[in-house]
Structure 1
Amino acid sequence: MYAYDEIDRTLVNERVSEFRDQVQRRLSGELTEDEFKMLRLQNGVYLQLHAYMFRVAIPYGTLASNQLRALAHVARKYDRGYGHFTTRQNIQFNWIKLSDLPDALADLAEVGIHAMQTSGNNMRNVTSDQWAGVAPGEIEDPRIWSELIRQHTTLHPEFSFLPRKFKIAITASDHDRAAIKVHDIGLRLIKNEKGETGFEVLVGGGLGRTPFIGKTIKHFVHGRDLLSYIEAILRVYNQYGRRDNIYKARIKILVHELGIEKFSREVEEEWQHIRNSSLQIDDEVIEDIRSRFIYPAYEKLPHMPDELRQAAADPEFEAWRKNSVAPHKNPGYSIVTISLKPIGAPPGDATAEQMDALADLADRYSFGEIRVGHEQNLALPHVAKRDLPALWKALDKLGLATPNVNLITDIIACPGLDYCSLANARSIPIAQELTRRFANHELANLIGRLHINISGCINACGHHHVGHIGILGVEKNGEEVYQITIGGRADEGAALGNLIGPGVKFDEVADVVEDIVEAYLALRARPEELFIDTVKRLGVEPFKERVYATR
């Protein structure tokens, strides 16, 4: 956990006071909705289909137990008793009244939580690997660098009014759990031949109406130069980015239109002007940030404790352990992923009661720390192996022990037409139906790793482009129609999915997914061949033939 200082606390409290005044002026009519819009967006407040939506930042996905309790409090007191965790390590509340928002922000500020820059045309929440700092084999904890970027870019005057929103993600592991290749800037921590820490820098990734996979602009930027290089990218974007067309305003369009070579030259030229300025990072600065991350006092524990050996006889526990428990860099500990995808429920939602209970479990079993992942699940990053059986029983009572992590029912979905004013089609009911269709855990394990992503409009908040199976809802002649893609992925091998054919109606989507899965099971070369690998080997046609043969 990062320990915030007095400067951070002052900034957050002043922001609350400022927003309270803005809301009062809006409620009194002194500000029109148009005048208020930019102010509320910069504080994470959207006007959605039925009510205001309030998006709260969880920097690089790390929460303390008291912060999770504060989120539960907001859900209970100001909303309808639940929150929705997003693909960018935020949480959203969908039913808060505008008049209550300043009080909600003030309550969150007491535990160091804010909503600054969770919307608007500025630098958004910096995201990272939810296993950061505990994943075996990572270069180093990427949250140190995430925090550095957070401090530099929060309320940065030059980057508070960009052509469009801007997102950065960082990873330090070979397996990319942060989806860096579909962000405006993706950073991969590496070491050079001298053993110095630096970054491979990717730029121009993003989904939405025009999806792109990010391209490497620099193979190695030394850690001391990270801020100056990011600032050079943002200056070029700020100068050349389209402000006359919202559909062409993202940096991905600029990179595409200029070409990566020309864009790289522009950035390099800008960087040479500023790299030796005050933006160069002293080692003392990094060490100060590093020192503020408080790590658990791990015990030296056995790799296979008696409690775990005895619990292995319970097939339900073993199913959960094999699915939801991952290795930790300390052999006596594990990383536990908590699925927020119970069968038949909206993906990514957690009730206030569940959040309170998880905070208690984090205190008991994970040194008071919780993580939020890109896949809309939570994780306890420091669980002693001896405690796994007790934790499983507690999670099961909460309805949070579904052993479906990375399986077909671990679905990523946006809120869709049930909440969002931008949506053309429903997402949540399709996700719910698919979880019911594939509720049998034996079948799900037979299918193996398969990611389904659902978006209710072209803005792609459900990241459908990079789903192994992607589902996009659109409106056609007043009817919901869904386009299906296969072969996408968001990890280190990131790729965009390919359309399999014409769109299908709402009540046909689950049948189509079943057809795709049946085709995969018949076509895979061996039981170990993953869906994504079968698609890569055979292409779209065999799946298209299966889906449309009887339609």
Structure 2
Amino acid sequence: MYRYDQYDHLIVRERIAQYRDQVRRRLADELTEEEFLPLRLQNGLYMQRHAYMLRIAVPYGLLSTAQMRMFAHIARKYDRGYGHFTTRQNIQFNWIELEQTPDILTDLASVEMHAIQTSGNCIRNTTTDEFAGVAADEIVDPRPYAELIRQWSTFHPEFIALPRKFKIAINGAVEDRAAIAVHDIGLTAVRNEAGEVGFKFMAGGGLGRTPIIGSVINEFVPWQHLLTYTEAIMRVYNQFGRRDNKYKARIKILVKAVGAEEFTRMVEAEFADLKDGPETLTREEVERVAQWFNPKPYLTLPSIDPRAEHADNKAFANWLQRNVKPHKVPGYASVVLSLKKTGVPPGDATAEQMDFVADLADKYSFGELRVTHEQNLVLADVEQSKLFEIWQQAKARGLATPNIGLLTDMISCPGGDYCSLANAKSIPIAAAIAERFDNLDFQHDIGDIELNISGCINACGHHHVGHIGVLGVDKDGSEWYQVSIGGAQGNESAIGKIIGPSFSAPQMPEVIGRLLEVYVKNRVDGERFVDVAQRLGVAPFKEHVYATPIPAGALVGEDEYA
């Protein structure tokens, strides 16, 4: 993985010193909260309902074990013993004291981490495929390119005060596992007829108040122009994006307003001035960065079937089926550690679990970890012969729930329990649904399904692209939930459609149950829930859900997270 150079170290040290003085001035009332707000946001510090929240950048979701152990240290020393992994592949700590934040940033710097550009109207953390570098369907490893974007975008003087926040995702494989279609800029590696590597550029995607699938604006940009073409898009957005209304300030609104064809013309005009300029990538520069992502020292191993030795162990077989993914090197596999055990808020990990996962990575996966945008963790390089012992150890720590891609592998934002922007709580809804359907045989029968929950229209839980999406809304001062179906991410990205009027919190498990009943009744030939929802449309689901009154039962976990 990438290591800081002398410039990275210097920039981070100087930023911490600057921020430490800003905190001192705020605590001495030399700065008002209004004056301090943009300063703290530039360092990833938010004020939430009960305390400050610090968001730490995990570039393209890649972590060393030293960095994971630092998260455990921060959880113990500065927080309440846990952290929350996010859909941006970052981590958040929700109970932070202001006066301690400079020390936290100093601790982070010791393991080459920071919280820069995790907030504010700037280019945020670039995300990518959690299986980058090991996926069998990979065209090119996207991590060096994600790192080049990180270096280019950090403190870029032109783009530190954009109309709104800006998110980039890059995919290097045939299958899109980075949700590029719902990003401000979505990139996917492609090869032209000559076999040369380039990138297909999408722009204007996004969720939130106005969910939009991005438009393809260029089918093939040579890799040399990754940064210059990105800069051309950024310049058009920075100049013409709206600044009078923050709800209409994202690039998706600009692309929709002028049309994809006209937006492309504007970008190409900017690109004409940037093409072959100083930010054009050279092979030497790409190789300089790519050296940090060279293949691991893999052993020559035979491919084996881990089930063979444990044929009578159904629990292990279920885990292999759902949590173990193929690897391009024979004899190896990738392991997904589920952070979705029933009774635990999705994406949360305790300090003890973080230390344990770091130990696993040191022992079994070359000292590296990945964070997924589905809020789980990955050991990317595991020998197949070690899978059974890893499963045993992970199971003992609550990290081996065999539910990856199933109903209880929910994406959920922290919601109203923490976030001051939320209209409703997310965590109790996730807990109630998980409790209702906490039967692995049932979940395996239902098959692949993505259930995403957001506590407000900002859509941090990506509800728009969930096969089932749940959105918290305010209704006369009460918390209610709007349900959509048919959304999808990846190669078949789609925005879900709302089924009808919203529901109270206690009704939500029954709503999900009724949606599943329609699916089971109508599925054919192994169709997934999303296939049936898109084939039939909203009508039969709506009819069944609203056919009879839904009882308002007790909501599991409602008080636990208050």
TM-score range, shorter chain: over 0.9
The correspondence of residues 459-478 of structure 1 with structure 2, limited to 5 A, is 459-478=458-477
CA distance in 1, matches of 2:3, 2:197: 23
Q: Is the 8 A contact 2:137 2:175 kept in 1?
A: no
Note the C-alpha offset of 1:177.
1.1
2:352 match: 353
CA distance in 2, matches of 1:297, 1:260: 45
The correspondence of residues 312-331 of structure 1 with structure 2, limited to 5 A, is 312-331=311-330
CA distance in 1, matches of 2:372, 2:292: 22
The correspondence of residues 36-51 of structure 1 with structure 2, limited to 5 A, is 36-51=36-51
Give the secondary-structure state (helix, strand or coil) at the position aligned to 1:202.
strand
Residue 95 (structure 1) aligned with residue 95 (structure 2) = yes
Structure 1 range deviating more: 30-39 or 117-126: 30-39
CA distance in 2, matches of 1:529, 1:443: 16
The correspondence of residues 162-173 of structure 1 with structure 2, limited to 5 A, is 162-173=162-173
CA distance in 2, matches of 1:388, 1:308: 10
TM-score by length of structure 1 reads 0.98
Note the C-alpha offset of 1:292.
2.4
CA distance in 1, matches of 2:82, 2:250: 32
1:375 match: 374
Residue 520 (structure 1) aligned with residue 519 (structure 2) = yes
1:544 match: 542
Q: Is the 8 A contact 1:3 1:294 kept in 2?
A: no
Partner amino acid, structure 2, of 1:373: T
2:364 match: 365
RMSD: 0.9
Partner amino acid, structure 1, of 2:543: E
1:533 match: 531
2:266 match: 266
Q: Is the 8 A contact 2:57 2:90 kept in 1?
A: yes
CA distance in 2, matches of 1:137, 1:464: 27
2:496 match: 497
The correspondence of residues 79-118 of structure 1 with structure 2, limited to 5 A, is 79-118=79-118
Give the secondary-structure state (helix, strand or coil) at the position aligned to 2:105.
helix
What are the superposed Cα offsets for residues 76-96 of structure 1, whole Å, 9 maximum, x if unpaired?
100000000000100000001
CA distance in 1, matches of 2:307, 2:11: 46
Note the C-alpha offset of 1:17.
1.4
Q: Is the 8 A contact 1:204 1:215 kept in 2?
A: yes
What are the superposed Cα offsets for residues 496-546 of structure 1, whole Å, 9 maximum, x if unpaired?
0001111111111111000001110011123x1111111111111111111
Q: Is the 8 A contact 1:132 1:143 kept in 2?
A: yes
Partner amino acid, structure 1, of 2:56: V
Give the secondary-structure state (helix, strand or coil) at the position aligned to 1:175.
coil
2:437 match: 438
1:190 match: 190
CA distance in 1, matches of 2:458, 2:314: 42
CA distance in 2, matches of 1:416, 1:18: 32
1:52 match: 52
The correspondence of residues 108-257 of structure 1 with structure 2, limited to 5 A, is 108-257=108-257
Question: Percent same amino acid at aligned positions?
Answer: 57
Note the C-alpha offset of 1:308.
5.4
What are the superposed Cα offsets for residues 200-245 of structure 1, whole Å, 9 maximum, x if unpaired?
0000000001110111010000000111100000000010011110
Give the secondary-structure state (helix, strand or coil) at the position aligned to 2:492.
coil
Note the C-alpha offset of 1:196.
1.1
CA distance in 1, matches of 2:371, 2:489: 17
The unaligned stretches of length 5 or more in structure 1 are none
What are the superposed Cα offsets for residues 340-379 of structure 1, whole Å, 9 maximum, x if unpaired?
0001210000000000000000000101110000100110
Partner amino acid, structure 1, of 2:461: G
The unaligned stretches of length 5 or more in structure 2 are 550-562
Q: Is the 8 A contact 1:516 1:543 kept in 2?
A: yes
CA distance in 2, matches of 1:180, 1:347: 22
What are the superposed Cα offsets for residues 16-69 of structure 1, whole Å, 9 maximum, x if unpaired?
112111111111111111111111111100011111100000000000001000
CA distance in 1, matches of 2:91, 2:390: 24
2:479 match: 480
What are the superposed Cα offsets for residues 314-365 of structure 1, whole Å, 9 maximum, x if unpaired?
1111111111001001010001011100012100000000000000000001
2:304 match: 304
Note the C-alpha offset of 1:457.
0.7
Partner amino acid, structure 1, of 2:520: L
CA distance in 2, matches of 1:388, 1:335: 10
CA distance in 2, matches of 1:7, 1:259: 40
CA distance in 2, matches of 1:513, 1:308: 33
Partner amino acid, structure 2, of 1:45: L
2:558 match: none
Q: Which runs of 4+ in 1 moved over 4 A?
A: none
Give the secondary-structure state (helix, strand or coil) at the position aligned to 2:319.
helix
2:552 match: none
Note the C-alpha offset of 1:311.
2.7
Note the C-alpha offset of 1:12.
1.7
Q: Is the 8 A contact 2:3 2:112 kept in 1?
A: no
1:21 match: 21
Give the secondary-structure state (helix, strand or coil) at the position aligned to 1:218.
strand
1:333 match: 332
Note the C-alpha offset of 1:280.
1.1
Distance 1:442 1:308, change over 3 A: closer
Distance 1:281 1:308, change over 3 A: same
Note the C-alpha offset of 1:294.
4.5
Aligned length: 549
Q: Is the 8 A contact 2:167 2:184 kept in 1?
A: yes
TM-score by length of structure 2 reads 0.97
CA distance in 1, matches of 2:198, 2:369: 27
What are the superposed Cα offsets for residues 126-147 of structure 1, whole Å, 9 maximum, x if unpaired?
1000000000020111011000
Partner amino acid, structure 1, of 2:468: I
Partner amino acid, structure 2, of 1:522: K
What are the superposed Cα offsets for residues 254-310 of structure 1, whole Å, 9 maximum, x if unpaired?
1011111111111100100111211111111001111122432000111117x7531
Give the secondary-structure state (helix, strand or coil) at the position aligned to 2:460.
coil
Give the secondary-structure state (helix, strand or coil) at the position aligned to 2:95.
strand
CA distance in 2, matches of 1:26, 1:194: 58
CA distance in 1, matches of 2:124, 2:487: 24
Q: Is the 8 A contact 1:3 1:293 kept in 2?
A: no
Residue 406 (structure 1) aligned with residue 405 (structure 2) = yes
Give the secondary-structure state (helix, strand or coil) at the position aligned to 1:485.
strand
Residue 288 (structure 1) aligned with residue 288 (structure 2) = yes
CA distance in 1, matches of 2:282, 2:458: 40
Q: Is the 8 A contact 1:57 1:91 kept in 2?
A: yes
Q: Is the 8 A contact 2:200 2:216 kept in 1?
A: yes
CA distance in 2, matches of 1:374, 1:174: 18
CA distance in 2, matches of 1:406, 1:31: 47
CA distance in 1, matches of 2:307, 2:498: 45
Give the secondary-structure state (helix, strand or coil) at the position aligned to 1:492.
helix
2:391 match: 392
CA distance in 2, matches of 1:111, 1:311: 40
